[in-house]
Structure 1
């Protein structure tokens, strides 16, 4: 990194940072009982961001030769060089513990995980029509320096394992999906058993084949902790990212200090949680990761900032400047975002509903951050009758607005479940974790079969 820090000293601007990245990625994809893809890829490059007079310029290159660096600098320099030169101070953080670096493990062992999951699913039921198993790991080494005189570096190791199963019977097609992973190595497979994860996905697809379609309408809904945090990620998370707030593209713009949710709701973003998929020691601008309370007992108290959006308001970054790679400039992004647990017993929450809908597993979702409107698919859901979870139903979607659902939640469980994903925004994808406890929504529109 020392060979590149002089870039910062040569560019006249309000703020400059440089991001150097080396990445090695392994991937195994099995479908139709065949290994469709087994690959290892390498990439390396640097990106330089310049903030001058409130505007951002970004340039990157994978040519790390002297001439490549000089060309990059030439594209960014518009004024005279700085007359003073910075002495960079290295900032260290407490790294997460990785037990087994997957880059040092033979690919045969990784193939074994994939084949075990695949073979087990096909042995379960003749109605299974398609099985996809994906294993992926990546080693990312980053070095960051900025015009504040700070320099840091970090190594991140991610491992991901997912199973997608499709089942078919009498004209009905259903899918089941399970994914596990995080900022961890092959110790992931000390926590999960490939066959068990695969069977969970398969059984969900098979069960939904014979489930009747839900009758839509307004009704009480209980969302289980194991459903994952898709709702919190979409319904409020994106709306609290400072770039959208400042552009007037968030329903939560200008609402700091106001009540936006019920007193039962506290929302936190925390990349310091050990070894989760959205965790990091430093963000992609070199700001140390920190726990940020966004909503405190229903009151909006903060947004998620990167350096640029924080500078615009005279604030400090919350450590949420993230980017997909050196080819992308950083923007405010969530990390591990969740609703904090409450005091209610999850079983009591279910018993409190006489007739309603129970969401055990969320599917995908879409949200309009300007007005907060959302639509969420339910992958696995059941009827609640007389305070008990009864028969499975399919075809359900949850429809509403983020501000409505957050205001209505009146019971929050003392449990907490997480789900993983890759969040897309501005053509960039970053790893995230979303979580929530079991919650009760007294009334929400559940889309389904009409009369």
Structure 2
């Protein structure tokens, strides 16, 4: 059936087509000040289809794998691509990548689906109890989220790829009040994997430590204004690099003229010793993945070396436009996003 949808796209005039099927299972639990606010389990399936016609993209999606919806989506995508091509500027050229045939699942050591809901709720209650050791706690919210994601990708070039992974996250948001001053502190523990993550890093212990951080914030004076040298912890460093540099390194933003890094490859932008990687292969990390959503293998890439800008984060399209090598960074929000 899926092969037939690709065949229809190529017969309809596409020079390239890919079909991405996404199957997601999820659980979310939330407690606010001891009261259960959310307990939701769900499953979702859908697909997204991209076609290139006359150098322009067309895209369509559906929330099922119904054969008739699939054929209709192909026709919609072809029509959209033809309509877009009339107004398009530079035609899309995809950088070449190897054809892949692989079935890969990153299996958690302790599958969260094998853990009872009651045990997950108990963990959240223990996190709340730890938070309540603060003398000045005004409110606390704890939450748990898990998700299993399975992607099947077929391309007109011959790639046939299936890969899957599981993520778990435990959160606590502590809000305190002291002498008219309010402040908050958040705890987040999780990543790609299962409940074994919480054995390596206990969310309850992290919440206990957060109490001290909250009390420090509530008792802290106002920071002085002006420019000065700052000592930044690893978490804040990650946020700064992600927001100020990471997004600016996305090649689609560069091509759109919306990045401060446009035209600055090879330029020294930071001090000696500042080297920045984008690495989706880190085991257990939140952003880890084996393949991107175009079927390009995830890889560690150096974006800045000793202060010099060396590369951008690429899809096949942006790599083709800029004459760079694709580096496995094409990501879609879900099956309904191109």
Q: Secondary structure at the match of 1:29?
A: strand
Aligned-partner Cα distance in 1 for 2:201–2:75: 50
TM-score (norm: length of structure 2): 0.89
What is aligned with 1:111?
A: 121
Structure 1 residue 156 corresponds to structure 2 residue 154: no
What is aligned with 1:9?
A: 7
Aligned-partner Cα distance in 2 for 1:75–1:314: 31
Offset from partner CA, 1:63-116 (integer Å, 9 cap, x none)? 311211121122123499xxxxxxx96523765452011122211111111111
How many aligned positions are there? 319
What is aligned with 1:47?
A: 48
Distance 1:303 1:54, change over 3 A: farther
Aligned-partner Cα distance in 2 for 1:189–1:219: 38
**Aligned counterpart for 2:189 among listed residues 177, 180, 187:** 180
What is aligned with 2:234?
A: 225
What is aligned with 2:36?
A: 35
TM-score (norm: length of structure 1): 0.67
Deviates more, 1:171-180 or 1:199-208: 199-208
Offset from partner CA, 1:242-296 (integer Å, 9 cap, x none)? 0000011111111112222222111110101112110011111111111111112
Distance 1:226 1:72, change over 3 A: closer
Aligned-partner Cα distance in 1 for 2:110–2:243: 33
Offset from partner CA, 1:207-260 (integer Å, 9 cap, x none)? 211111111111111212243500101111111100000011111111112222
**What's the RMSD between the two structures over aligned residues?**
2.0
Q: For residues 7-156 of structure 1, what are the structure 2 equivalents within 5 Å?
A: 7-11=5-9, 12-78=13-79, 90-92=100-102, 95-122=105-132, 124-156=133-165
What is aligned with 2:262?
A: 253
**Aligned counterpart for 1:210 among listed residues 206, 214, 219:** 219
Gaps spanning 5+ residues in structure 2: where? 83-97
Aligned-partner Cα distance in 1 for 2:148–2:105: 14
What is aligned with 2:206?
A: 197
Q: Secondary structure at the match of 2:227?
A: strand
Q: Secondary structure at the match of 2:25?
A: strand
Deviates more, 1:151-160 or 1:302-311: 302-311
What is aligned with 1:379?
A: none
Q: Where in structure 1 do 4 or more consecutive aligned residues deviate above 4 Å?
A: none
Aligned-partner Cα distance in 2 for 1:145–1:226: 38
CA contact (8 A) 2:273 2:305 kept: no
Q: Secondary structure at the match of 2:246?
A: helix
How far the C-alpha of 1:141 sits from its partner, in A, is: 0.7
Q: For residues 412-431 of structure 1, what are the structure 2 equivalents within 5 Å?
A: none
CA contact (8 A) 2:136 2:177 kept: yes
- In terms of fraction of residues, the more helix-rich structure is 2
What is aligned with 1:424?
A: none
Distance 1:248 1:77, change over 3 A: closer
CA contact (8 A) 1:175 1:204 kept: no
Gaps spanning 5+ residues in structure 1: where? 81-87, 330-451
CA contact (8 A) 1:95 1:281 kept: no
Aligned-partner Cα distance in 2 for 1:130–1:286: 44
CA contact (8 A) 2:14 2:78 kept: no
Q: Secondary structure at the match of 1:116?
A: helix
**Aligned counterpart for 1:168 among listed residues 174, 177, 184:** 177
CA contact (8 A) 1:116 1:194 kept: no
- In terms of fraction of residues, the more strand-rich structure is 1
CA contact (8 A) 1:134 1:162 kept: yes
CA contact (8 A) 1:163 1:201 kept: no
CA contact (8 A) 1:272 1:280 kept: yes
CA contact (8 A) 1:117 1:133 kept: yes
